[in-house]
Chain A
């Protein structure tokens, strides 16, 4: 793998994470339990769409084959997407979606912090922009975890189940494969083992504050980063890509 191939692949993973998560969040628009959450969710989803756009554009420029942000988002197939499995899982109920945000954003915040310091200039600049938004998102998801965990007996039980369910998808965030290793070596990229420790520390702290129990690290699912997805991604893409697939090149 050349160093250009490494940074393109690495950038596309970040972009796919942002886009797939944004699409899941967009599915919740007009279905939030209260107006305040409606606004928070829609605005946060916009941040992720914005990040995805910058990342795809950057990947397209590095690649130099004239692929646009829309080409990456709308005409690639399922196996070409490299997002984490956690992010493509259906929203479930409010607590499920919230736990997904919490686990991902706690990780993403440390990853972005590492990317700011990397030597790939485009990614470093995008990360510096994005971290300001994700800090804010992460505060929101942590606060909600505490509110639900330390809420009523019912909310506690349900959000504990959400946490137990989502846990098996977290291993993939820290499993460094050849792209992660090459990006770290060649571009001074983030160290996933170090991030795992920071993530664990932050998650433990909030989970304890929420009076919840940390699930055991047993069997972890993986494959999203390599393009092997759960059955849910295909449906998500079918809906998201419908228009561009039916009317290629349509604009308005």
Chain B
């Protein structure tokens, strides 16, 4: 069964490193649900979080193939232990008349924040795991959603589990 896995990768912060990873996934037919990348506190290194799906065999190959890339320093399949996952979403909604109150309440329930207010719209910021963000969108009436943008998940191990060189 293809399971959802979150894979964290530390890689050299060099131009081209990202395309090696994305090229690997397309060339070998691996699935990517999301991929995020940004520099770490050590500016010479970036950290990437990849959400993918695959059988145990496929995930094992993904981890091995990532490790094989010369610029990849470390790879961890976060699913091997307990971990946290967060994603940021911005949603612009139609907010007019009485629905303004309703949307404000809804945003509060999901611990969102309204970060931009205009005459007829709100922009709501929401963080959480993917399921929570999905749930928020489902809770809204589709006709009020004007635009959404999501960062893709980033993940980190719980407690003492640390990914560092």
Tell me whether A and B are bound partners.
no
